Amino acid sequence: MTLQPVRLSVPSSAEPTSGRHSSAATPTGSVAASRCATAYWAHHSWLEAPRPVRNERSARAAHAFLFERYPQLADVTRAAASSGLPVWPRPACARLCRVVAALALGRSLRRVVAAQSHTAFAASVAPRLLEAIQRHPRALAPDLHVEPAASPFDRHAMTALGLALVQRADADLSHAFWWSLRLPREIAQSAQRYGVRGLSAADAADLLADAKRLMEVPRC
């Protein structure tokens, strides 16, 4: 399965979306919706009224609220206008974060052999990926030094840790807040707890690239 990047604007009729991981976060064919793409992009927990955006009126209100509440979005929007963020619809984005975290803890996961643990990992982190992670070259290297330690079988912790690592891949932080907006606010708040020693932006970007490749490998 190949995951395609999602641009921050709503696709026009000349840019059809298709496939399992195409963006379902924003409606198509609506100029008004494209002007409020941020409202559709953000998880509803970031909005003043914590409910999913359902129509143009609520999108306009949510868009205005986000830019008033988070003025840094103005700069981020300009920076993001010329390039697509390498993220996908919300479930795939959260799964990508968890795979990033799993690769960061690859050495520990390499020792997981019990069938029950494999089942727990598939349910909590990502299905059908543990064996690929265990075979990955990163599993031969020491785990990243993460503080505080995260349980590799805790869905919330792994999503938050992965988000923290993904944000480190953005050297100038121009896209980091967009990653937070895509996920529930409580995940972003938990991500702020995690620190990683000795991980440069380039190293984090390589980690993110490895996670994307794992998610894109076709599986039976």
Q: Mind listing the pLDDT tens digit for each residue in 156-174?
A: 999 999 999 999 987 666 6
Nearest to 101 by CA among 39, 183, 219, 8: 183
- Report pLDDT digits (tens) over 88-106: 788 999 999 999 999 999 9
Is residue 101 within 8 Å of 158, Cβ to Cβ?
A: yes
Q: The dihedral of CA 214, 107, 198, 73: what is its sign? A: positive
Residue 188, Cβ neighbours under 10 Å: how many? Answer: 22
Structure-block tokens of residue 139: 């599993």
Distance between CA atoms of residues 213 and 209, nearest Å? 6
Question: What pLDDT, on the 0 to 100 scale, is given for residue 44?
Answer: 93
- How far apart CA 100 and CA 129 sit, in angstroms, is 12
Q: Find the distance separating the first CA and the last CA of the chain, reported in whole Å.
A: 10
Output the CA–CA distances (angstroms, integers) from residue 89 to 41, 82, 118, 129, 153, in the order listed.
9, 20, 26, 19, 23
pLDDT digits (tens, 9 = 90+) for 11-30: 333 333 333 443 334 444 44
What's residue 73's pLDDT? Answer: 83
Say if residues 159 and 97 touch (Cβ distance below 8 Å).
Answer: yes
> Is 168 in contact with 208 (CB distance < 8 Å)?
no
Q: Which residue has the tokens 């609506």?
A: 30
Cα distances from 39 to residues 28, 67, 118, 174, 207, in angstroms, run 14, 10, 37, 18, 29
| Separation CA 184–CA 93 (nearest Å) | 11
% the chain with pLDDT above 90: 53
Domain residue spans in the chain?
90-216
What φ, ψ does residue 8 adopt, rounded to 5°? -80, -10
